[in-house]
Structure formats: C-alpha cells, structure tokens
Amino acid sequence: MSRPALPDDTELRDRIRGLDLDLDSKIRLLTGADLWRLPAEPRLGLSAVTMSDGPQGVRGTGDDPAETGLLAPAPSALAAAWDTELAERLGELFATEARRKGVDVVLAPVVNLQRTPVAGRHFEYFSEDPLLTGTLAAAVVRGLQSRGVGACLKHFVANDSETDRTEYRARLDERTLREVYLAPFEQVLAEAEPWSVMAAYSGVDDGTESARMTENARLLREVLKGEWGYAGPVVSDWAATRSTVASAVGGLDLVMPGPDGPWGDALAAAVRAGEVDEEVVDDKVLRLLRLARHVGRLDEPGPAAVPAEPAPQEFRLLREVAARGTVLLRNQENLLPLPSDGIHSVALIGPNAVAPYLQGGGSAYVRAVRTVSYEEGLRAALPENVRLTVHRGGDARLRLPYASADLLTDPDTGQRGVRVDHLDADGNRIGGEARATGDWTMYDGFAPATHRVRLRTAVTLTEPGTHRLEFGCSGRFSVNVDGEEVLSGADDRGVELVLESSHSHPPRRGIDIEVGAEGRRLELALELTVVDAGGYGRFVTAQVRHAPPGPTPYEEIAEAVAAAQVADVAVVVVGTNEEVESEGWDRTGLDLPGHQNDLVRKVIAANPRTIVVVNAGAPVLLPWADEAPALLWAWLPGQEAGHALADVLLGRREPSGRLPWTLPARAEDVPVPDARPRDGIVDYAEGVHVGHRAWDRAGLVPAFPFGHGLGWTRWSYESVSLSPTPVSATAPCPAGGDGLNLTVALTNTGPRAGCEVVQVYLEPPQDAADRPVRLLAGFATVQAAPGARITAEVHVPARAFQIWDGEAGAWRTPPGRYRLHVGRSSRDPHLTAEVTVGDGRVHPAV
C-alpha cells in the first residue's frame, strides 16, 4: 500500500516552536477537557474540538438532556443496500446533523467485523466480510468529511465482541490480522483518509506483541502510523487508557474523556525523568492540530451554520435507506408487493409490531426527533377503507414497564411521584426533589457533596389479581418494601459499571403482590450510594417497574391468531429488543425471545397470506422460515421504520437489500458460536475463515447465504468479460489500483423495475495453502427497467489475489489458476470466468 501524502505541517511545527509552549501546556492538550470536548489553547489559535457518538445518528454532547436528533437505520441495514452512493449520502446527512449540534468529530464508522452472530454490537458493524465493510465505511467517511466533519474510525483492532471487552486479548496470527481484521481499516484509510482513529478497549496478541490496543506500539506506531502513513491522532476509547508511559510511547495521542486520566502530571513527570521523549509529546500535539485544522477549529471563525431543524429531504433519505436495506428472503407466489385493491383488512401482529426496536443499545443510542411506528406507517399508507387491527401476541421482553406515575405517591406531599433526598457522607439531607417516574437511570440531579440518594414513594394497587413489582439498581444499594429488604447490592466499582452497561441495564429482582378487592398500598424506600464514574460523572441508577394482572402470552397469541384468521393479510413483526442487542454484553443464544416462534407458526397456519417481518440487527434462528409465504428482514430501521415498511409492503419501493452476513438455520452450525474469553484470551482459531468463508469451508447449508436477497424482479446474467491490469506483488491500494475489471451483461427479465447487486467471488487455486474456498472480491449495484439490458462494471482489486507472507513481512500473489464466480449471492453463481496469475500479471485462462 502506498503511503498517503503527508500534509505540509511546516507552519504548524513553527507555531508550536515559536510560541515556546511549556511541557505542561502541551500535555494538557492530550487529555479531554470533559466528556466530549478537547482542550482549547488560544495561544495556538486552537478552539475546542467537540466529539459525539454517531454510528446510528449524531447523539450530541448531552448538554441539553431534551436534545433530539435524526435516528438512522443501523449500520447493518445500510450495509444490506450494498450501495456506496447511498452510504456517502448518509455520511453527508450525518455531517449536517453534527454541525446542527456543534459537533466536529463523529465517532463512526465502526469497521469491526461480525465474527460471531452473538456479538452484542453486531448491529453496529457493517458486515462479516472485510471488503464489504471497508468499501461502505469508506463511503460514509467521504460523505462526512466532504462537509468538514471528521470521522473517527473505530475500534482499532479485533474488538469484535463485548464480553470482558475491557480486559481480553484477541489472539490471532499476523496473516489473519492482515487479511481479515486490519483489512477494512487499511482500505478506509487508503480510500477516504479519516481524520481520527479510535483505539479499542481490548488488546491484541499477534505473536509479536501482546498489549492493550492503547499501548500496542507494533500496531499503532509501526503499522498504522508508519507503514500506512496515518497522520491523524489515535484517540482512546472512553476510559480505556490504563497506563502512562506504555500508552504514551505505544502510539496513543489523546486520552478520553477528561479532565482526569493517567497522563497529565504523570506524563509530564515521565518526560522529565527521561521515560518519554518530549518529541513524542510534540508529535501528539501536531496530530491534534491537524485534526483541528480539518474541522475548522484552528484560526477559523468556526464552521458555517446549518438549519436548526431537519429538512424534509433528510427524513426522506432515512426512509429510503431503511426501505432499500430491507431484504426480501422469501416471496412465495409473489405475495409481495400487496395489490392496490382487493384487500379490505390487515392484521398487524407481534411484540415488535406494537413496540418496534428501532436502534441498538449503548453508545449508538439517539433520542429521536420523531419515530414512526409500524402501525402509524401502515395507517398512513393504506386506503381509508382498509381495516387495520393491531395485536401484540405476547410480550417478548423480560423486564417489566416502568411503574406508571399514577401508581406513585410522594409520601411528603401526597402528590403523584417519587420523593428523592440527597444525603451527605454523614447522612444529613442537603437537597432533594420529586419526580413522577419510576425511571431513575443515571440520575445526577444532586450537589457535588451528595454521598447517598434516598428514593421514597407509596405504590397504590387497586386492580384485583397478581401484580408484579420489579427493581433494578446499580452499585451499592438497598431496596425495602414495607420496611423489609428485598434487594441489595455492594458493588463499589465506578466507570466499569458504565463500560459493561449495567448502569442502564442493572440486575433485577421481582416480587409478586396479591391484591384483593380492597386494594393495597406499599411503602417503598431505595437507598443508593453515588457512583463516581470519572469522566462519565456521578450518578445513581434505580428502576421501579410494574406489571398489572393481564392475559398470559398464550391468551394473547390466541387472540392474535383469531384476528389473523379473519384478515385478508396478516403481517407479523417479530425480532429482538433492547434486552438482547446492545453494547456492553454479548447474546447467550440466537433464539427469538419470548414465545415469538409459536406466534409465527400459528399465524401462518391460520392465514396463507402471512408476511413475516424480522425486526432485528443480528441473526436470529427462524425455524419456520420455509413455512412463511413471505419473509422480510427489516433490521433496526431507525425513526422512519413505519413509513419504510409500508413503502415495501405496498410496492412503492423495492426491498433491494442483500444479506451482509450469513443467516444460520441451526445454532450448532455457527462457525464461531460465542466470543467468551478463556483465561482472558479470545482465540481467533478459525483464522482467515470468517463468516461466509467458514460456511463454505465446512460445506454447511445456512438458512440464507451471504449476499442473498430477492427484490421485485428477475435477472438473467448473460456474459462476463475481463480487462486485466497488472497485479503487483504489493498492491498500491487494498481495494483499488491494480487488479481486474469485469464487465457483466445482464437483463431485467421481470415485470418491474429493479435493483440488482452483482457480486463477484474469487476462488483461489485448489492447492493454495489454507485460503478461503471463495472470497468476496468485488460488487456493483445497478438498476434497470423491465426488459432492459445493462452492464455492471466490477473492479476486483489486486489485494483479492494476495496473501500475507509472514516470513517476508509483505504481501505476495500466489501464481496459479483462479476462478471468478459472478452471481446473486455467495451460493448462487450465474457466470464463471477463469484467469491465471503469473509474472505479476493476470491473464485470461486458456
């Protein structure tokens, strides 16, 4: 890979030297000023640079708790469109949203790989494939940075699961690291030059060095900055830095968040003691100044203003991404799209039909400016004479809803709500308030001297039957009901509670309460010690949840099935929820939660015109998939979910998505079933055989293969021609430069206009040592009217032919005969061409 041209930094270097900044002033710039902002330095002309989370939308800094934003479909949904132009447009929208919120750097995209389907942040990653990931992420970066907002490529590297994510080492050989996990980072850096990179929480052991990624000199200094020529800063993941000298000399440039951390005075002392060269500090300052210059925070009045409110075209783009990313997995007898007439009733069924899961949990969370439910979207799109009924069919969530304010009484005033008292270390009350809610997650509305928080309320239950109360708290706490302790905790950790997400999803304890005709009143008292989470602030978390007497899941399923029987069409929406897919933990299995499989099977049996919609970001097992007349995968679709689904069901937009990962039929077939560390190690024993490559190697049949998707029309693949270009021993660019160009002719033979993703898979020589059976080598997205013949141009980069030679420390191209399979998925080839590689060139096979 050729190194990108380094910026002319003469003026910046002269500025640092000319001002003669003292060591402490320079080091102050290397730790965040607060949770999201970098320090300013007027003497350098440096204004504060502001960062924000951003994989599914720009969250903002949290200065205004009521701040809302645009909620885009999850990255896996964008990846399903296989469309770089669409990805770049979404990046541009993120940039506009960032400027709307005063944000200079968006902490996205995420280019870790979907190594295992149970990974907690699977929804936040693009794909199980490195080429698809790198190509789409590069497009997002180009879109962001074209409008002056920096991208932060993360999480460098091999941070592909959540269990013990701040502690584990990923153990993998250098070839696997180079060909699979470093590959998307290298590609994005070459094609889009992101202005910042984030080092992961976890560590890497590649056989040469074993270290946390914030300290990994081989990967940060030698590979990222040296070999690849990366000129921007390496930012720590939040609270990931654990050392002073090791991280400073290892290649980290910025510790986040601040103002505290392991650098500051400790780093200054290390420099004065000769443990860290001051030139290392100067290089870090220079990299931060480059970032500030890119985003307009160096000697500039600041970025241009953008409209304060989202424009209609921004909502339309989110709707388009959600619809185009939707994957049509099955469509028996062309049930979809639904006809414009002849339908008089629709039954909308399922727990996710009632409560759609729009976004994954954790740092990707955005408080949406608006949300369109599936019910709202269908009601707006269906003719007025079509009757729409909605039925949950059982709750798929384990956690109960928060207790309604109507049940809660402040014991001091008799008004609705919960009384909170702020206590100092001696138990003296120094403040307090009342709020009408059972949700006290990350409550921080108290003075700095507060040591404990006490919540008091009376719960009044009037409906006869069995009620259930549920409590969840973080840290050190006690929960008393009518003076009796029912739950307690003694966890004195701080920031770790945030990093594992138990600050927002604490362990819970439920109790059943029998209520007679006379009703019942319960006195609740919760006492919590304030958690000090460093840069994340000081807070307590307490949750009071309640479920009244009601129908059982089986009774709800029966009611839904009865509705399906009399409807012209049944639309069943099943999927995951915030308890299943989130940052902070990995899933324990692939089954749909609750009784959703029973619900689907019974509705299918009741109505032959059943459309099943899966609302999930990561794979789930669908044991009834072959029975579903029509099956759509709708991802975590963001705020425009209802409009996008209505567009698809009614044929207003084609579901042109293709799976960016493999959907298993059985849990026992999954190549990497979990990512639990063993003795602190996550062993990448599968090597280069990740995702669809592993399925091909094992010869197993998934429910639906990588790249699968139907759309509204049919395609005839007619011919493929090759235009060879030199394939050098070391490709100048991992996904561009030298390689091979394919021209594929195809015709839309169906009745409707459509979009096709032409996919090219490279099959290396059979005698190649431990190479994938097939690997994705290129793709192109084309559109055509019915009957139209078009051509797709697909570039296969030189890197697709290469392997990493560990002994030589370089890329090499094994000679031999290669096959190129052109088709609609990894398991559906339509055309094949052969080439031979020798003397550094690709030749048509003879």
Cross-strand pairs, 179: none
Q: How far apart are CA 122 and CA 143, in angstroms?
A: 23
d(CA 741, CA 794): 6
Helix (H, G, I), strand (E, B) or coil at 322: helix
C-alpha 747/C-alpha 718 separation (Å) is: 8
> Phi, psi (5° rounding) for residue 377?
-65, -40
Between the CA of residue 216 and those of 177, 183, 220, 476, what are the distances in Å? Answer: 14, 18, 6, 35
Q: In a 3-state reduction of DSSP, which class is residue 525? A: strand
Residues 6+ apart with CB under 8 A from 24: 268
Q: How many CA atoms lie within 13 A of 272 on its CB side?
A: 10
Question: Which amino acid does the sequence have at 174?
Answer: E
Listed in sequence order, the residues at least 6 apart from 430 whose beta carbon sits closer than 8 Å to its beta carbon are 422, 423, 424, 447, 449, 450
Using a 10 angstrom Cβ sphere, with 0-12 exposed, 13-18 middle and 19 or more buried, the burial of residue 148 is middle
Residues 6+ apart with CB under 8 A from 517: 464
> How far, in Å, CA of 201 to CA of 238, rounded?
8
Nearest residue to 334 via CA among 713, 754, 634:
713
Taken as a whole, the chain contains a residue count of 846
CB 687, CB 632: distance < 8 Å? no
Question: Which residues does the annotation mark as catalytic?
Answer: 237
**Nearest alpha-carbon partner for 789 in 748, 750, 744:** 748
* Interatomic CA distance for residues 415 and 395, integer angstroms: 31
Q: Please state the separation of Cα 558 from the chain's center in Å.
A: 36
Pairing of strands 452-461, 408-409: antiparallel
Cross-strand bridge partners of residue 704: 663
Reported in sequence order, the residue ranges of 109-205 that DSSP labels E, i.e. its strands, are 150-156, 169-171, 196-199, 203-205
Q: Whole-angstrom Cα distance, residue 459 to residue 841?
A: 77
Q: What residues contact 327, with CB distance under 8 A and at least 6 apart? A: 80, 632, 633, 655, 657, 658, 659, 708, 709
CA distance 4 to 719: 37
